Structures are given as structure tokens and as C-alpha cells.
Chains A and B, each alone.
Chain A
Amino acid sequence: QLQLQESGPGLVKPSQTLSLTCTVSGGSISDATYYWSWIRQHPGKGLEWLGYIYYNGYISYNPSLKSRVSVSIDTSQNQFSLKVSSVTAADTAVYYCATYNYATGSFHYWGQGTLVTVSS
């Protein structure tokens, strides 16, 4: 059973870059079944898909954030990462990594989530 775990700073200053890593265990990040995804949830609000990356490097982003978001993958470490640049208080949220299965169109496995607060 796949397990995902987010890691990274819980506090980021405005205008800086938010960086998170998701470590995958119980399976290989080179598994062709999944697209490795990032989703966030503003406090008390709904879910927002940020983007995903496939093991071969294919990437798709949410157009609303595309200019500030980047995802990358490190197959040697079984990890994938998220960067959000020029953050503001509006980027304060719980950030989840998850697996997206293209065949079902759904997010099957999720990390526990990590709260990132943007504040000076």
C-alpha cells in the first residue's frame, strides 16, 4: 500500500518561495499507474488541485496558478516536490500530496497534509 508524506517548512515569509517535498513509500514513483499530484485546502475551505507530474516528466498545472507553481520529481529518492513562488497570505493552506490515477480520474492515495502559513 502506497504511503505519502509531505515535508517542508510550516512558515514562509511573504514574497518568498514555498517548497514542499512528498516522499513515497510502499511503491515506486516510477509506477506508470500514477501521476504525482499536489492539492491544497485553504483553512475551512474546499480543495484546489495545483498540478501533477508523471514519472517521465510530463507535467500539468492548474491554469489559475500556473505562473507561480512548479513541480518536479526525483526518481532516485522516490520523491516529488512543489514550489510556489511569490507567496502571499492567500497561499496559507494545508498542502496535500496525492496519487492521481488517470484511468479513474481520481486521487487514490493521500498524504496526511501539512499546514503552511505565510506570514512575516
Chain B
Amino acid sequence: DIQMTQSPSSLSASVGDRVTITCQTSQDIGNYLSWYQQKPGKAPKLLMYDASNLETGVPSRFSGRGSGTDFTFTISSLQPEDIATYYCQQYDNLLTFGGGTKVELK
């Protein structure tokens, strides 16, 4: 099984801050990584796939990079509507999700 380690588990930031989340996998997954946003009481929403490809309609302040075992997800300028929990997901070998990062407003 591929283990996913997402960090931090939570963070507080101010509107306009740059926010970075990392996702580390236990083995090389190439770029087979997606990122999701989940707001309370809602289903997750796909933001990015193939580590850095933005899903249609997702604002450009969201970005991703990485390959192999180390990945980062960045919000360049945090907006109030970005308050949510973010998950990474690998699809190299079966399908597994990271533990999530809760982003809160400072």
C-alpha cells in the first residue's frame, strides 16, 4: 500500500497570505496526484490532477507541483472562500487519500 503523509494537519493564515501544503508518498508515484477541497458538510471538490493540472473553472491562485514522492499545493493569496480542508490523493497504485489539511483564518 502507498502511504500518504500530508502536512501540516492544520494551519491558520490571514487573507492574502501564501499557503503551502505538502504531501509525501511512501513510494514513487510519478505525477499521479490530485488535490481536493472540502468545505464543512459538503462533498470534496477536485482542484487539480496530474500534480499540477488545474481543473476547469478552478481559480489560478491554486497551484501544485512535484513528482516522485514529494508534492506541494499552494494558494498564492488566501481568500475567505478558501477556508476548507484540503486532501491529496494518489492514483499510481489503487486510490488513497492523504489525511487532510484544515485551513483556517487567523
Contact = CB atoms under 8 A, between A and B. Distances in A.
Interface stretch (B15-23, B61-69, B72-80, B92-100): B92-100
A47 B46 contact: no
B97 A105 contact: no
B99 A46 contact: yes
Contact of A96 (B43, B49, B50, B98): B43
A48 interface: yes
Given A104-B50, A106-B34, A111 B43 contact: yes
Nearest to B99: A46
Interface in A66-120: 96, 98, 100, 104-108, 110-113
A104 B34 contact: yes
Q: How large is the interface on B (under 10, 10 to 19, 20 to 34, 35 or more residues)?
A: 20 to 34
A110 B39 CA distance: 13
B87 interface: yes
Contact of A49 (B42, B97, B98): B97
A49 B46 contact: no
A26 to B, nearest CB: 16
A107 B44 contact: yes
A87 to B, nearest CB: 22
Main SS of the interface on chain B? Answer: loop
Contacts, number: 57
Given A62-B94, A63-B94, A105 B43 contact: no
B24 interface: no
A46 B98 contact: yes
A105 B49 contact: yes
Contacts of B50: 104-105
Contacts of B87: 46-47
Central interface residue in B36, B43, B46, B96, by most chain A CB within 10 Å: B43
Interface of A: 46-49, 60, 62-64, 96, 98, 100, 104-108, 110-113
Interface of B: 1, 32, 34, 36, 42-46, 49-50, 53, 55, 87, 89, 91, 94-100
